[in-house]
Structure 1
Amino acid sequence: MAVDDSSTDPDGGSESESSASGPSRSPSDSVSAVARSVADPILEIRDTTVAFNMDRGESRVLDDVTLDIERKEIIGIVGESGSGKSMFASALLDAVVEPGVLTGDITYHPTPDESIDLLNLSKRELRDLRWEEISMVFQGAMSSWNPTMTIRGHFEETLDAHDADYVAGMERAHELLSDLYLDPERVLSSYPHELSGGMKQRALIALSMVLEPRVLVMDEPTAALDLLMQRSILKLLKEVQSKYEITMVFITHDLPLVAELADRLAVMYAFQFAEVGPTETILRDAAHPYTRSLLNATPNLDADVDEMKPIPGSSPDPVNAPVGCSYHPRCPLATEQCVEQDPPFFDAGPNHQTACFHWEEAAEEIPFSLPEQTDREASR
């Protein structure tokens, strides 16, 4: 498949070129393809890999990925469980735990004229960057609160660890909690067990932003919440992102959920990116067979349950991924070329890239239907 991706457990800028008659049909260079739609990148990920040496052999849980993330955008990273999403998030903060080995290049641009080699920082520099510049809400983080400390204690500890101004920091904490429709004094004086799941999650988002980071990485931040609370937090995130002009990387397996929030989607399969493009383009005109099958397999309140079509087969083993296109064992369009060759990115339209030799056939061979109007469109 193409050069791009995320990860999983070790065992398990300008418009794209198109002619007047339609999208380019020639493959794009992996770097230029993903960079072409990003005019002002805040993060540049190049040829990045995470590998674990297992008894069964090398396990690649992030496989030579390349992606640019636009300043102030909300980008959704989507894929099945085990596709590499969480490892991609860890790589963005150089937070891959041993014995995992992270290689490649990740460049962070605090401003358009500054560049920081994220994988070449000292431990102190990296510690500061992780909260002050790039912050993260980890998967399952609602249970990571210290039960013996009040929420105020968590904010104070974070400010103290980074030598931040206490008064200004707590004023910002109050503002953030209010922005997230919480009562600051009540929440700050509470212990974690005294708050509901949705309140703890919103307080955690406020904590992750108290040092005014430019990038917020969120790994399945609403996974443990009910549907109504998920939608509520998405709405709040959109408001907070707009107010503070923060770049947001939202990682989830729930494509319809993130589609309500994201400006752009990057669809992952087998530790690589399969397709990258504007959210509405992906929802209406997905070009990769996997993306189209994923949309067909996604529950839709407007569609009959009988119309849902699970994707046959299972995700590949990271130790023994298929040669050629990693999706070919499950793909109805696969040919001998797919079995033998790893497809590059092709330009499928403006700012839209896909890693499939047969992307032009996908719409006819794998039809899917969406509601007349998505929730995201209706909220505009």
Structure 2
Amino acid sequence: MMSISSDVLNEPQDRDAIIRMDDVSVTYDSGDSYVLDDVSLAIERNEIIGIVGESGSGKSMLASSLLDAVPDPGQLSGSVEYRPVQDQNVEVLALEDSELRALRWEEISMVFQGAMSSFNPTMKIKEHFIETLEAHNAPVETGLNRAHELLEDLYLKPGRVLGSYPHELSGGMQQRALIALSLVLEPDVLVMDEPTAALDLLMQQSILLLLRELREKYDLTMVFITHDLPLVASLADRLAVMYAFELVELGPASEVINTPTHPYTRALLNATPNLNAPLSEMRPVKGKSPAPINVPSGCSYHPRCPLDTEECRTNHPPADPVTPEHTAACFHWEEARTEISLNYAETGTNDGDWR
């Protein structure tokens, strides 16, 4: 485990969380433009949490914030606590550069969008593993043995993959090799930003099955970021729905799918193909999501919402509890259940068949 300065260790408040974000914001233009707005989220140890929303909703910025990797000139504020063990906290935003470099691979690793652009095309896959191991002063032979095991776990032939250049592998093989590379230093948390976006449906489903197996074998916590709600719904334990750079609904995946409460979540589900509704009943989300420089006052969704009132236009809704584990930031979430119908059967239970 990496060495962390004592001045960034604090007593934990929530013993079940491995990462806790409190009031995290990312701003540009001297604070005038928000691309992440006051997000608080506790990520539980060994869970898979899905972060979903339209393109431009702030999902990727949330991922970057977890690793203090917001590109300049973005300004990151708030608190991101990492809990390597249950009796200590690491304040990520207070780490020195060397500590932060270690954390990003050894403790929290990230799979970025597009495996094809993540590998150096002039280097064989084995060289990427060696370079990563040497950069973190890890034993190369031991690391390569782990790489072989990880590649086999992902149903790849280690000899062929490690001896290949990236362009000699298919997109699915590259993506799985990138997942293996992200796990070679045995991190506790794996953050994946649209990891299956460029893959066909069959390969997407295959990778989801492999991720479940990896979570169980290596006791991983996973943050899976995607705009594809059906994809992550079949994988995640919990879903966090983002709109206009903030969280608007959070809860167990089965509850968010089968009893969605925020008007945006219901609209998003109605715009998504599913096996229980004909294509003619799909309804696109009306209007456009706001730009960072033009976020509406009050509830950011009110210009697109059929339930908006003067209260919505002037006041920002708090995250109300729907159930003990399910929250929605909406003044009218109870009305949404009756006023905004779904194009599939709402079960009101945790055993619906939308997925």
TM bucket, shorter chain:
over 0.9
> What amino acid sits opposite 2:19 in the alignment?
L
Structure 1 CA distance, aligned partners of 2:185 and 2:352?
Answer: 33
Distance in 2 (alpha carbons) for counterparts of 1:339 and 1:223: 35
Cα offset, 1:372, TM superposition: 9.4
**Structure 2 partner of 1:43:** 19
Secondary structure in 2 aligned to 1:319?
helix
1:264 corresponds to which of 238, 243, 246: 238
- More displaced 10-residue stretch of structure 1: 130-139 or 360-369: 360-369
Change (3 A) 1:117 1:265: same
Partner deviation per Cα, 1:295-315 (whole Å, 9 max, x = no partner): 001112332111001111100
1:71 maps to 45
Residue correspondence of structure 1 range 225-240 to structure 2 within 5 A: 225-240=199-214
| Rounded Cα–Cα distance in structure 1 between residues aligned with 2:306 and 2:77 | 34
Shift of residue 317 of structure 1?
1.6
Q: CA deviation at 1:58?
A: 1.9
For the 8 Å contact 1:51–1:58, the answer to whether it is kept is yes
- Once the two structures are superposed, residues 304-361 of structure 1 have per-residue CA deviations (whole angstroms, 9 ceiling, x without a partner) of 1110011111001211210000000000111110001000010001300110010111
Distance 2:168 2:181 in 1: 17
| TM-score normalised by length of structure 1 | 0.87
Structure-2 separation of matches of 1:142 and 1:264: 29
The question of 1:348 aligning with 2:346 is answered: no
The correspondence for 1:131, drawn from 63, 84, 105, is 105
Q: Output the amino acid matched with 1:108.
A: Y
Change (3 A) 1:191 1:372: farther
Relative to structure 1, the CA distance from residue 101 to residue 199 in structure 2 (aligned partners, 3 Å threshold; closer, same or farther) is same
1:242 matched to 2:216? The reply is yes
Contact 1:142 1:204 in 2 (8 A): no
Larger relative contact order (CA 8 Å, sep ≥ 6)? 1
Q: Assess if the C-alpha contact under 8 Å between 1:173 and 1:206 holds in 2.
A: yes
Q: 1:180 to 1:371 in 2, by over 3 A?
A: farther
Task: Work out the CA distance in 1 between the residues paired with 2:241 and 2:21.
Answer: 16
Gaps of 5+ in 1: 1-34
Residue 76 of structure 2 corresponds to which residue in structure 1?
102
Post-superposition shift, 1:79? 0.2
Letter in 2 for 1:260: S
SS of residue matched to 2:307: coil
Structure 2 portions without partners, runs of 5+: 1-11
| SS state at 2:292 partner | coil
Amino acid at match of 1:350: P
Q: TM-score, normalised by structure 2?
A: 0.93
* % identity of equivalent residues: 64
Runs of 4 or more, structure 1, over 6 Å off, are: none
Structure 1 residues 79-98: aligned runs within 5 Å: 79-98=53-72
Q: Report if aligned partners of 2:25, 2:36 keep a CA contact under 8 Å in 1.
A: yes
1:24 is aligned to none
1:143 matched to 2:117: yes
Q: CA deviation at 1:66?
A: 0.6
**Equivalent pair of 1:39/1:70 in contact (CA under 8 Å):** no
Q: How far off is 1:377 after superposition? A: 7.7
Structure 1 residues 13-65: Cα deviation after superposition (integer angstroms, max 9, x where no partner): xxxxxxxxxxxxxxxxxxxxxx99x75000110111101117xx821000111
Contact 2:115 2:171 in 1 (8 A): no
Give 1:179's match in structure 2, choosing from 117, 131, 153: 153
CA drift of 1:114 comes to: 1.5
Q: Which residue matches 2:8?
A: none
Partner of 2:188: 214
The answer (yes or no) to whether the contact 2:115–2:174 under 8 Å persists in 1 is no
Structure 2 letter corresponding to 1:347: P
The letter for the 1-side match of 2:278 is D
Distance 1:310 1:47 in 2: 31
The number of equivalent residue pairs is 340
Residue 323 in structure 1 maps to residue 300 in structure 2: no
Q: Secondary structure at the match of 2:79?
A: strand
For the aligned residue pairs, the C-alpha RMSD in angstroms reads 1.9
Q: Distance in 2 between matches of 1:259 and 1:365?
A: 24
